[in-house]
Structure 1
């Protein structure tokens, strides 16, 4: 990365438990053409020992790959939004939601219900989707 102060570095992908920061598995980026480095493939390799055990997965934007975004209904993005606006679509257990605060926040979840939840901010009470509240809560622990 030519514009970074450190030009060369290692890239690690980790699967972490959010409350204890326990690292379940780690994978170092590999330039080997026989191994796929697509986000969905890396995620599935890291998750392999934990699949079908009832865990919840929260990911950042890098791992929101086209395979996941293809599940988003196109009509969800047709209308412009103002702060506080919320819209969602449901297909079976999958809920795609779009909420606008200071910027647009889009979520895709199989475990959250669409209704907004009241939260107490620094200066005011706001209504946010529970998927956004949980993502902030659990990802901030892992990002630490």
Structure 2
């Protein structure tokens, strides 16, 4: 009887271990913080090295159609917020809250329904983060370095 209990315990532990290490979960998507920190770390001079996928984690909690691009001086993404995200203004505020919590050293110098602006760094080596609505149903994030 004792051998059966030991065997059952070993099987349960092995099954749990396989589940925990080999399973994918719905929340395995990149987090907004991971994506934001990666983008900001590349600024100001390395934004062109980023890929379109680097910014999708910022949008994923709010929209599934993020289109991102990189250039020498800026990285930008635009997406359509989910219907359950509320209005564009609500989604704009939610993404701004993510930026503020993920980048506590950023200065939030503009907070309006039409524009959220943050910056990091001293003049001459500043990284700007701007979030705006575009059209009636899209948001646009631009990270640029000076």
Category of TM-score, reference length = shorter chain:
under 0.3
Greater helix share, structure number: 2
Larger RCO, structures 1/2 (Cα 8 Å, 6+ apart):
2
TM-score (norm 2): 0.26
Larger Rg: 2
